[in-house]
Chains A and B, each alone.
Chain A
Amino acid sequence: MSSEPYIVETAVLLLLAFVVGGLVGFYARRWFTPREVAGSGSTIAPEPPKPVPAVERTPAATTPPQPAAAAPASKPAETSEVVEEAKPAAAEKPAEAAKPAKAAKPAKAAKPAAAAKPAKKAGPAKADKAVEAPSASGPDEAGKPALLSAARESGPDDLKKIKGIGPKIEKMLHELGVFHFDQIAAWEAAEIAWVDEKLSFRGRVEREGWVAQAKALAAAGKQGG
């Protein structure tokens, strides 16, 4: 070959090398970060991007406007789909998985929204036993979800089961007052925005579908016990 520079060809080659390197680095990073959060807690949760089920954003069309924290989950059918996806154990009996979700939701939905204390209505019946912090009342606390000062008697749920939550974020949520799946399941747009801002999550609550996952896990938890 002559000593011609072949500038374009060289540039293409270098670009190709860069792209190949980028792909290698990208997948290496995903490969080497632990997929299952086992509690070692060295890094953030490295779950692959997951299509968010369409459960989480359901404006309550039939219910009158009410405080966002009081709105319960309103799509049992879709929730059962999520149960099948997120909880392999529950996949063996999907019909049963759907039942408790259905049974639980209408009771809550029928309950009139008590405007005086919306935070207390967000949790299930178990929440009565919980030690609850005073609900949001300040003007700058708009959208504050129901927070607990401590986990319920049954102990905190393993929030790491939600894809996207690792030990670090779980700890942050605990410090904030979020211990249980049903708490997250009760979040609506305002609460999600509040938590996003509070913990600098930059929209990952919505992006990773925490609410839908939490609904599924809460329903599975109810079914289990």
Chain B
Amino acid sequence: MDLFVELCVRYWPYLVLALALGIVAGWFAAARSRV
């Protein structure tokens, strides 16, 4: 758990970036599945 927190603290910009990319990907995946 400590390691998890440590990594989150250290790499938070990348986590945010990954989260944002995931949101974008999920958004378009939903759009594609509904077209």
Contacts and interface: CB of A to CB of B under 8 A. Distances in A.
Interface string A24-62: 111111100100000000001111010000000000000
Interface residues of A, number: 29
Contacts of B16: 17
Given A21-B21, A22-B25, A25-B24, A13 B6 contact: no
Contacts of A202: 35
A49 B22 CA distance: 21
A18 B34 contact: no
Contacts of B35: 44, 202, 204
A20 interface: yes
A14 interface: yes
A28 B6 contact: no
B31 to A, nearest CB: 6
Interface string B4-34: 1011100100111011111111111111011
B11 A22 contact: no
A77 interface: no
Give chain A's interface secondary structure class.
helix
A153 interface: no
A25 B22 contact: yes
Contacts of A45: 34
Given A23-B22, A25-B25, A202-B35, 12 more contacts: A6-B7, A10-B7, A10-B11, A13-B15, A14-B11, A15-B18, A18-B21, A18-B25, A25-B28, A29-B31, A30-B30, A49-B33
A1 interface: yes
A28 B11 contact: no
A125 interface: no
Nearest to A48: B34
A140 interface: no
Contacts of A23: 22, 26
Contact of B26 (A13, A21, A33, A47): A21
Contacts of B28: 25
8 contacts: A1-B6, A14-B11, A17-B22, A21-B26, A22-B22, A25-B27, A44-B34, A49-B33
A25 B30 contact: yes
A44 B35 CA distance: 7
A19 interface: yes
A20 B31 CA distance: 17
Given A1-B2, A6-B7, A9-B7, A17 B26 contact: no
